[in-house]
């Protein structure tokens, strides 16, 4: 089971969707106010060792405890959550609550963090590319759920296909460059002693 520990937007630049709860969010850091031998910093060093560059960990107990310790120091709007990430149609292994499907590269970068809105420099694109992006934005942005993600795998995959085709027409149109690295990723919020049921299956989710 792949887990991420995430809170607010990672990118401070304007244009980020404030509702976004996908993979491209901030990871927990070292707590400089207290010694390294404090539990929160011991867990930070564990997080660095196990999570590496992408911040993907697998120990649910430690991940939840690390988030709990940080959240005791943060305002509610900045709190961390532990999220399970699952590729495409892979079923969730946790008992977490379904959040949505992101379009991510390596459980990290995302094509949805801006909410599929028009971006800076769009007016400098060639007219055919600009018009096609406008159509993609108008069609798919309204289909994002309240977490800034897609509710179904089918719609997420179709949006990725459209954005990949645009990237072929205009190289480096989207951040990340190589669109082959991006894929639909399901996210599930994991909580301690969480009795809520996840989405019964991806097929069921896609029918909603």
Model confidence pLDDT, tens digit, residues 176-207: 567 888 999 999 999 865 433 343 333 334 43
User: In this predicted model, what pLDDT tens digit does every residue of 31-83 receive, in sequence order?
Assistant: 999 999 999 999 999 999 999 988 999 999 999 999 999 999 988 777 999 99
Dist CA 33 CA 13 (whole Å):
27
pTM of the predicted structure, to 2 decimals: 0.86
Domain residue extents for the chain: 2-199
Structural contact between residues 29 and 12, judged by C-beta atoms closer than 8 angstroms: no
CA 181 to chain centre: 15
CA angle 155, 177, 85 (to 5 degrees): 50
Beta strands in 47-151 (DSSP E): 81-87, 97-105, 109-110
Radius of gyration of the chain (CA): 18
Query: Among positive and negative, which fits the CA dihedral 119, 123, 126, 129?
Result: positive
Query: Which stretch, 44-48, 104-108, 119-123, 199-203, has highest mean pLDDT?
Result: 44-48
DSSP 122: G
- Alpha helices, DSSP H only, in the chain? 39-51, 60-71, 127-140, 153-169, 202-206
Contact 31, 44 (CB under 8 A): yes
């Amino acid at each position: 089971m792949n887990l991420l520990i995430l809170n607010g937007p990672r990118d401070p630049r304007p244009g980020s969707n404030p509702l976004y709860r996908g993979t491209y969010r901030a990871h927990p850091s070292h707590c400089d106010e207290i010694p390294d031998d404090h539990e929160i910093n011991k867990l930070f060093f564990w997080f660095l060792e196990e999570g590496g560059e992408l911040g993907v960990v697998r120990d649910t107990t430690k991940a939840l405890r690390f988030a709990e310790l940080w959240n005791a120091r943060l305002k509610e709007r900045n709190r961390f959550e532990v999220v399970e990430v699952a590729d495409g149609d892979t079923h969730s292994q946790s008992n977490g609550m379904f959040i949505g499907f992101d379009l991510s590269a390596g459980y990290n970068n995302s094509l949805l963090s801006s909410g599929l809105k028009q971006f800076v420099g769009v007016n400098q694109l060639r007219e055919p590319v600009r018009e096609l992006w406008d159509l993609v934005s108008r069609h798919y942005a309204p289909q994002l759920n309240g977490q800034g993600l897609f509710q179904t795998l089918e719609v997420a995959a179709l949006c990725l296909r459209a954005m990949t085709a645009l990237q072929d027409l205009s190289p480096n149109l989207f951040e990340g460059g190589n669109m082959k690295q991006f894929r639909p990723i399901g996210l599930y919020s994991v909580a301690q002693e969480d009795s809520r049921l996840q989405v019964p299956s991806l097929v069921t989710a896609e029918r909603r």
